Structure 1
């Protein structure tokens, strides 16, 4: 069994102000996403499914198909506003689809094996993919999913605050909950976050979610049920979103199984702000120079 990689690439890139999924950072113009696919292939993934917007499909396929042909099986799924809404009356003011768990649900018919989910615009690193592949091949089950946990200090931006899901884990390193912390930044050798109550310290070695999840395909049935509930309760809110942690939280709280937190030594990087781009380019070039990646990924 070769696991599948599901890449969330339908985002509007609102903060960054352009289609950052398509920006080239590697020496031969490679996107961040291509490094993830390269790492996934060498870790033993057999298929990649892209979640994209239908209006962007032709450009997307033209950019990626020539590079990936013959290297890994490819499929595409479209995240549309009415996908899996089953006749629900969508508010006229709603523009964006329903969030990351809705994106996963859109891939229901394309994925039958254990799979990993990642963001298109985050660099996750080789170690993370190797650990994910091992889990998906050896441990993943209907009652056992996982999340790759990054060291908080390795996920900050020098150009502003970040939002991170800080993982609360039990003594067996299973996820208890994810606490969404916004406005996280380093200050005087510590890491802090701000909320309405003020400023709080976050432990330096906290494990955080960068939206790298490993699921058994049974998660689609759970997501289908939860999305129906979500539409009933939050569907009329213009900006409500059905996020992956909503599904994971329900799975844990209802005793359906465990979500294992798998720590990785990988250095995360990504483009949260436009000013992050030169640093990302340098990080990629440094990895190429060290021999971690070839100068031309697909050459």
Structure 2
């Protein structure tokens, strides 16, 4: 049985029901907004579905599919889980279990500009794995930040059917595009509303709540020479180490489009280098 809940309904492209600037900063790793959005999502969701939550003893929460680098929605899921667990504690119930849908991504295209058919075709080439025995016959909360065309939900439902997973599945979203006359590329309008260039990106990365996610890692690895060198020189060694490790964990070193910048990050981890881009890098403290 499938259910869907979304907090915000997008019906007018000129009247966004949430802060576009906050959403953009969230999508690029400013996780104070992940916590804020999770609190809002919990309050709206529990007001409508309290009885459903309390009718199940075994509940599993799953963020949107990813391989090794978490998505922005994974951080949203983390804070949402904390709120639901506190609610379950107050009602004398077991805490949520957590699982994930493993995903091996095969593309570098930003699908925020694509329509439904293009998105399904693109993400349908990825490979997915889910632990059917772990989540079967339970209430599964499948959480994502936004539903634009429903392509990801379509893929997840296809995976559940492929693995013959039985249970109750609740698809939760912070926001949902309900006016189908609005082109799906409004997603990229939201994604890049605040983060429009390397300077706004550096501001987000300077936040105390910043954390790398899939979007920002790919964005950095695709930066042009000048923007990349500026960003890299602003990053402490500890952050560059983390960025490099995450990129390799997702096998981005095997993708030609990412390899040049990733190699320069690796080279920058020595004390002082002159890169093939021509700039000299002096180590900042970790």
TM-score > 0.5 by shorter chain = no
Higher Rg: 2
TM-score range, shorter chain: under 0.3
